[in-house]
Amino acid sequence: MFLSSSVGALGVSLSLYILFRKWQFRQRAQGCSLPPSRPARFLLGHALEIPTENEARVFQQWAEELGSDIYYIDAAGTPIVVLNTIELANELFEGRSAIYSSRPGSIMMNDLMGWDWVMSNMPYGQSWRERRKLFQQHLHPSNRGIYEPYEQEQVNRLLARLLDDPQGFLTHARHVVGGLALTLGYGLNVKAHNDPHVEVATAATKAVTDAAVPGAFFVDFIPALRYVPEWFPGAGFQKKARIWKGMMEEMRDRPFEDVEAKIASGIPARPNFVSAAFDKLDPSKDVPHQRQVIRDTAGMIFAAASDTTTSVIQTFFLAMVCYPQVQRRAQEELDRVLGGRLPEVKDEPDLPYISAMVKEVLRWRPATPIGIPHLSTSDDIFKGYFIPKGTIVIPNVWAMLHNPEVYPNPDEFNPDRYLKDGAFDPLVRDPGTMAFGFGRRTCAGAHIAESMLFLTIASVLSAFSISKPVDENGKPVDVKPEYNRGIISRPVPFESFITPRSAEVARTIRNLQESDSA
Question: For residue range 227-267, what is the model confidence (pLDDT) as tens digits?
Answer: 888 888 878 889 988 999 999 999 899 999 999 998 888 88
What is the per-residue pLDDT across 160-172, written as a single tens digit (0 to 9) for each? Answer: 999 999 999 999 9
pLDDT band at 121 (very low <50, low <70, confident <90, very high): confident
pLDDT at 385: 94
Q: How sure is the predictor about 516, in pLDDT bands with cuts at 50, 70 and 90?
A: low
Q: Residue 126: pLDDT above 70?
A: yes
Confidence band, pLDDT 50/70/90 cuts, at residue 269: confident
Tens of pLDDT, residues 162-209: 999 999 999 999 889 988 998 999 998 876 667 788 888 878 887 887
Q: What percent of the chain has pLDDT over 70?
A: 92
DSSP state of 472: T
DSSP state of 72: E
H-state helical runs in 374-438: 397-401, 432-435
Q: How many residues does the chain have?
A: 518
How many Å apart are CA 263 and CA 126, to the nearest integer? 28
Task: Provide the pLDDT for residue 2.
Answer: 38
Q: How confident is the model at residue 60 (pLDDT cuts 50, 70, 90)?
A: very high
Could you report the per-residue pLDDT of 309-323, keeping only the tens digit for each? Answer: 999 999 999 999 999
Fold of 2-509: Cytochrome p450 (1.10.630)
Band (104; pLDDT cuts 50, 70, 90): confident
Query: Is 374 within 8 Å of 101 (Cβ atoms)?
Result: yes
Nearest 5°: the CA angle 70, 90, 38 is 10
Tell whether the model's pLDDT for residue 505 goes beyond 70.
yes
Could you tell me where the beta strands, DSSP code E, fall in 3-156?
A: 70-75, 78-83
The arithmetic mean of pLDDT across residues 123-143, rounded, is 92
Percent of the chain with pLDDT over 90: 62
Closest CA to 220 of 384, 390, 97: 390
The strand pair at 78-83 and 392-395 is best described as: parallel
Q: What is the mean pLDDT of the chain?
A: 89
Evaluated on CA atoms 414, 422, 369, 367, the torsion sign reads positive
Answer yes or no: is pLDDT of 7 > 60: no
pLDDT in tens, 420-431: 988 999 999 999
Does residue 517 or residue 286 have the better pLDDT?
A: 286
Q: What CA–CA distance (Å, rounded) separates 334 from 258?
A: 40
pLDDT tens digit string along 16-31? 556 656 656 665 666 7
Comparing 9-23, 78-92, 220-234, 312-326, the range with the smallest average pLDDT is 9-23
Query: Which residues have C-beta within 8 Å of that of residue 274, sequence separation ≥ 6?
Result: 185, 186, 187, 256, 259, 260, 263, 294, 298
Is the pLDDT assigned to residue 10 strictly greater than 50? no
DSSP secondary-structure letter at 348?
G
Indicate the range of 88-102, 133-147, 392-406 predicted with least confidence: 133-147
Q: How far apart are the first and last CA of the chain?
A: 72
Distance set, CA 416 to CA 318, 355, 402, 433 (Å) = 18, 11, 16, 18
- pLDDT score, position 19: 60
> According to the model, what pLDDT value does residue 101 have?
96
443 a known binding residue? Answer: yes
Q: Where are the domains positioned within the chain?
A: 2-509
